[in-house]
Chains A and B, each alone.
Chain A
Amino acid sequence: MISKYVEEGSTYAGDIDQLILWILVITGFWFMLALGVFIGLIVKYTAKPGVKAKYVSGEDPKEKRWVTWPHYATLLFDVVILIAAVRVWTHVKIEQPPIDETVRVVAQQWAWTFVHAGPDGKLDTDDDIRLVDEMHVEMGKTYGFELSSRDVLHSFSVPVFRLKQDAIPGRIIKGWFKPTLLGQFDIQCTEICGIGHALMPGRIYVEDHDTHQAWLKAASPVAAVGSAPAPATGGTK
């Protein structure tokens, strides 16, 4: 439903959108109802000449219902939201499907470095492709990422994937995504990381198989020997 209005670019983007929609519907319904009751009671019990205000001690169960029933409803719907959220969380953050390829994501003030595996599909080999602020992936492949930070807290966020993961100095945090939409999309840092925080956007290129293979060949430092020079870095954006 939300995908009509906002692009969903990964396999789990729809699950997260669905969860947010449910939370919106549940909280929105109760918010509107509570507001209606609140305004209704204000109107009903507006001060009238000759009518003395009544002191409500809260001991009469009939009067307490106005508090206890919403309380039980809140608890019940909290549990409903919790169960739905844990299901999505488990799918996105705990379970990991078989990984086709791994990309290393290194955050720093104020840039992203992406280490791609290169044509051999393996990291830490001579054909690895390191780019600044630029990441290339193939649509339909499941990617694992290894996220680290060179300095302070950052957060790796690809809004179109509904992916957001904090980067913590000294730790390598693993995650995954499977792109389902061709195109160029934003990468952003969503953790205040210093004066240049707003100035560290990156770009992810989701390509079809042929385009991605052509890019791998052109960008790999090994493949480029003797032919056109490989770009040492990405972004001149």
Chain B
Amino acid sequence: MRIALPLLALTALACHRPDGATPVISGKEMFRACTACHGEHGEGNATIQAPAIAGLPDWYVESQITKFRTGVRGAHPDDYEGLRMRPMSRQMMNPAEIHSVVHYVSHDLKPVKGAKLVKDGDATAGAASYATCIACHGVKGEGNLATKAPPLAQLPDWYMLAQLQKFKKGIRGANPNDVTGNTMRAMSAVLVDEQAMKNVIAHIGTLNP
């Protein structure tokens, strides 16, 4: 005991940084935990329902990570993929770590155009439905920081279909604290069925911001 206590104190002292700073792990390093699902270049993996995230706006990536961390998104029992993302978002321990990984995803990774996986969509019919989306997501699906609407043209088609279905069923966007999600959930009512969703997604596929 006489030796143990001073040894313990010495060990604690050795772990302490004299400048009091907290070491921040680089975004690239942090992102290694994400590659198992989102891919080495953030290109996504449709097989496991992990979307491409490379090059998405930093404000959007940060807002979604925050939602996952706080249980505003990805906490519904039926949101299988969201429940998988929720604990992973909590690997970042503080705002500095979140910021570093967000910066890496948004600015250091280049957007990847994935293959079109959603078939049977009628882009012409979808153009009419898309008129409702323009106010937030923009004419060319370029997104809008002011309305916190992501750039749809950058999102994989299969991911948009899955999210539209979740919004419609209340699996996503039902949490009272999810302000933008609540809006999107209400707007998803415009698309009456899966075919209408496929149509609007087909139209988004033709947009080139």
Contact = CB atoms under 8 A, between A and B. Distances in A.
Interface majority SS (helix, strand, loop, mixed), chain B = loop
B86 A111 contact: yes
Interface string A88-103: 0000000000000000
A108 interface: yes
A61 interface: no
Given A233-B71, A235-B71, A196 B88 contact: yes
Contacts of A196: 84, 87-88
Most buried by B among A130, A150, A232, A235: A232
Contact of A236 (B75, B87, B170): B75
A150 B77 contact: no
Contacts of B36: 195
B87 to A, nearest CB: 3
Interface in B29-63: 33, 36-37
A131 B75 CA distance: 9
A236 B174 contact: no
Contact of B176 (A130, A229, A237): A229
Contacts of A234: 75
Given A232-B175, A233-B71, A110 B77 contact: no
A199 interface: yes
Number of contact residues on A: which range applies?
20 to 34
Contacts, number: 53
A237 B87 CA distance: 10
A220 interface: no
Contact of A108 (B37, B80, B90, B175): B80
A130 B84 contact: no
A235 B75 contact: yes
A132 B88 contact: no
Interface string A162-196: 00000000000000000000000000000000011
A25 to B, nearest CB: 27
B174 A132 contact: no
Interface in A196-237: 196, 199-200, 229, 232-237
21 contacts: A106-B77, A108-B80, A108-B84, A109-B83, A110-B87, A111-B83, A111-B84, A111-B87, A130-B77, A132-B76, A132-B77, A132-B83, A150-B80, A195-B88, A196-B84, A199-B91, A232-B75, A232-B170, A233-B75, A233-B76, A233-B77
Interface of A: 106, 108-111, 113, 130-132, 150, 195-196, 199-200, 229, 232-237
